[in-house]
Chain A
Amino acid sequence: MARTLAMFTDTSLCIGCRACQVACKQWNELPLEQPEWTGSYQNHAHFTDKTYRLVRFVEKPKENGELAWLLMSDVCKHCAQAGCLEACPTGAIYRTEYGTVNINQDVCNGCRYCVSSCPFGVVAFNHDTGRANKCTFCNDRIHNNLGPACAKTCPTDSIQFGYRDELAAKAEKRVAKLKEMGHKDAQLYGVDTNGPLGGLNAFFLLLDRPSTYNLPEKPLLPQRNVLADSLLSVGSALLVGVGAVMAFRERGGKGGGHA
């Protein structure tokens, strides 16, 4: 396995130009979509099957009543423990040698279990092709030693691309610096490989709590309860079974009659 690659999105540097969103559309040949009114500059409200990079424009009230912009270029997190990958029954969703998570469009049959299993609501069903779509981490580009289109195009280095360990060290330094500068809520999201979902291979530096950015505070692997839920079902089966046996048993011992 090659060294794990990552994207580090430093929201403190984002100026909301959406060049990443456009570069993603262009490189991945994603078709035009009807814009939607979200009440803000943000478009769309959320990822779609044709929008893999999305600049979020979060309006946060300041103490003096004015609004402050929190800008964040959001993307698939390429989780180390990926709910979509665990949910896929065809093997279409796979992990590349770089640690990224990808959907093989030639195998996906559109069951949509991955859509329901992404803790971030990233994976989207494409009604035109009948398959699930999401950010590919520009799989074609990284296999040719090019960074993802979004990172390549970002004019402020808000999106950085590189080896995960190096980027993580960079991120730690940056968050310490920001705290020093007085951004007391500055925090890293998904950088810790011992944290939720085993760490995210697209991790973030946020200037506020994750929930402010519409991110789960503590994302959980959807499949964590399969065993417990299954055992409860087995218990249910045994109880129902006992009831039925009692109802059907011939009085005075087992009936030997042939059906």
Chain B
Amino acid sequence: MLRSPEWHMMIVWYFFLGGIAGGAYFTAAIADNFGGKKDRDVIRIGYFLSLLLVVLCGILLILDLGVPTRFLNMMGFFTFWNPMSIGAWMLGVFGLFAFVSSALSLWGSDSMVRFRRIWSLIGTITGFFLASYTGVLLSNSAQPFWSDARVMGALFLASGASTGMAAISLLMYLSGEAAGEGFEKVKRADRFAMIFELLVLALFLALLGSAAAPLTTGHMAPLFWVGLVIVGLVVPLVLDLVGAGLKVPAVVPAVLVLIGGFIMRYVIIMANA
């Protein structure tokens, strides 16, 4: 007989937004290092979005504690094999990276560009950590189904990258920059991330086998199959590949990917709520 940690909506939001933060920062860093002049908006939006979200993430995590005023207790202790411990530290470290990258993307002089690029590549490691450690944290508990899910961290990372790119696309669309070349590149990168995510999800289910029942056959099943697999992955992929002919606004796949990313965190966490 096991006991649920009673992680509910605040943790669902934290996992979801943490994934976007890591994914958006990574996208911006790649655009920064490998893109060109026209990707400037991708870079700025990505860095600033990750900074905003990492602050929100910190607030959500603190509020979810039983004794929120004791959040610093996690900072007085470090165990390198404990996802929760490293995660709390990395949230802070990633916040620092996001802050400096954001500041340099607006006010940095030309001589600082080189520094920002290297800084952001290193920061990407912490961003990826934020996006994926939450999965490793769940898969290293004693809970049914979570503890059997070997590729949960890998899945959360793929979803984080994909939702991060989708969030950048959405913001570019809203700020009227959807016509630019940067927007197309983000979409191209997201296409790859979505295909990869779908493959990891298939591997996730295959490795889980019957242990995946809480997702695939329980009361979460409609949300999982329709909300995540169809609406959140298959439809945006199809729209992305053939959407030009269907005259669907370019922002629709991005919104669907974000909805799918939220549903993924929701069904997985609430399966043991």
Interface residues of A (CB under 8 A from B): 46-47, 83, 86-92, 107-113, 115-127, 129-132, 214, 220, 222-230, 232-233, 235-237, 239-241, 243-250, 254-259
- B91 to chain A: closest CB distance in Å? 12
Asked if B141 and A89 make an inter-chain contact with CB atoms under 8 angstroms apart, the answer reads no
Query: For A239, what are the chain B residues with a Cβ–Cβ distance below 8 Å?
Result: 196
- Mark out the residues of chain B between 28 and 58 whose CB falls within 8 Å of any chain A CB in the assembled complex: 30-32, 34-40, 43-44
Q: Given A121-B3, A225-B140, verify A89-B85 contact (CB < 8 Å).
A: yes
Please tell me which stretch of B72-80, B170-178, B217-225, B254-262 contacts chain A, meaning at least 4 of its Cβ atoms lie within 8 angstroms of it.
B72-80
Q: Which residues of B1-49 have CB atoms within 8 Å of chain A's CB atoms?
A: 1-7, 26-27, 30-32, 34-40, 43-44
Known: A87-B82, A240-B196. A112 touches B36 (CB 8 A): no
Q: Could you list 11 examples of A-B contacts with CB < 8 Å?
A: A89-B85, A109-B68, A111-B65, A121-B2, A121-B3, A125-B6, A225-B140, A226-B140, A236-B154, A255-B34, A259-B32
A229–B156 CA distance with the chains assembled, in angstroms? 12
Q: Which of B105, B128, B136 contacts A259 (CB under 8 A)?
A: B105
Are B157 and A237 touching (Cβ within 8 A)?
Answer: yes
Given contacts A115-B6, A226-B136, contact A248 B153 (CB under 8 A): no
Partner of A116 from B26, B136, B141, B200 at Cβ < 8 Å: B141
**Contact (A113, B5) CB under 8 Å given A89-B79, A107-B73:** yes
Q: Which 5 A-B pairs have the closest CB atoms?
A: A110-B66, A130-B66, A255-B36, A257-B37, A243-B192
Q: B144-152, B227-235, B239-247: which lies at the A interface?
A: B144-152
Q: Are B113 and A247 in contact (CB under 8 A)?
A: no
B window 179-232: CB within 8 A of A: 185-186, 188-189, 191-193, 196, 200
For A131, give the chain B residue with the smallest CB separation.
Answer: B66
Task: Find the B residue at minimum CB distance from A45.
Answer: B1
| CB neighbours of B65 from chain A (8 A) | 109-111, 130
Task: Pick the most buried of B30, B77, B152, B193: most chain A CB atoms within 10 A of its CB.
Answer: B30
- Within B125-166, which residues are at the interface with A (CB < 8 Å)? 128, 132-133, 135-137, 139-143, 146-147, 150-158, 161, 165
Query: Bound state CA distance, A80 and B151, in angstroms?
Result: 28
Within 8 Å by CB of B150, from A86, A127, A229, A245, lies: A229
Instruction: Give bound CA distance, A227 to B136, whole Å.
Output: 9
**Smallest CB gap from B110: residue in A:** A258
Inter-chain contact A233/B136, CB cutoff 8 Å? yes
